[in-house]
Chains A and B, each alone.
Chain A
C-alpha cells in the first residue's frame, strides 16, 4: 500500500495512503481532526497523479463546499479539487481546510501549473465516488477520510 508520512516531525505518522480497488484507486487521509483528515485525503489524491513532493506551493486558490453530511462533503471537496486541477491545469500539494459543522467547508489549496516533463502525471482523475466512502474516527482516536476515485 502506498503511503506518505511526515517523517521530519517525528513518529513517522502516516498521513495518507492508497488502498486497492479493482479498476481504480482508493485514497485515505488520516488526521487528528476531520479537517486534517480531509487535507490529507487531498494529498492522497495528488499522490495518485504524481509525487506530491515534486509539486511547489506557488499559487493558492480558495474553495467552498456544501453537502448534507460529512461523507458527501468529503466527496464534494475532492471533486472540487479535481475540477480546479482540470480547469486551471494545476496540481496541489498543501491544503488548509476549515470545517463548519458537518455540512460546510472552506479551504485553501496551494500548488502550481502542471509541468508534464517534471511531474510525469500517471493518471487523470475523473471523479471521487461514493465507493469505499467513509469519514470516521479509528480506535486510536485518529480521523480517517476515504473513498475510491475513478481514473
Chain B
C-alpha cells in the first residue's frame, strides 16, 4: 500500500483461493532447512486469503520459493506478514541469487527475524550477503541493520517489510519508513522465498543469536503472509 503513482505492478499475490499459485510458487518438500527444521509441503497452506507456513513441535516446517518459476532484477519488493513470537524461531522473507551458471552468491534478507524477545520488542532485521561463489570463507560482503520499538510486539499484527533494489544499492523499509540503506551494486537475477526456520546450536555449542526453541511453546507456530508484490518504477530501469 501507499505506493506512488509511477509504480507498475510486476507480481502480486494476495493468496486468494485454497492453494498456492503454481505459476508463482512451489513449496519445498523433504528438504533440510537452514536450522533444525525439515521443510514439508504439507506445512504450507493457503486459507482465509493468507499464506500460512506452519512449524510443528518436531520442527517440521515449510518454505515456498519462486526459484525456477520467476526471478527478478531491481524493483520494490514488499510483503505484509505476521511473524510468530517464540524463542529460536527464524521466519524470513528473502531473495537468493538465480544466476546460471552461479558465479556469485547474493542474498537479500528483506525480513529475517531471529528471536522471540526481539519480535516481542518490535525489533526487525534486514541483511545483505554478497560475494563470489563458491567460497570457502562465505560471502565477502555482510551488511545489515535493524529497527525496533519496544512498545510494539511484531507478532500481534501484520507489518509491511520492503526493499527498494536499484542499480546503485538497496533501501530497506519497515511499515513504509526507510530505516537502512546500502550502496551495494548487485545485478544478478534473484528469486524470492518465504521460509520458517528454527535456530540450531552454534558449532561452539553456544546457543545461537535468537536462542534455541522452547519445548514448552504451544505448537504449531505460524508465519502468516497477507500479500506480496513486486513493483517497478523508472528508477529501477537499467541505466
The answer to whether A and B interact is no
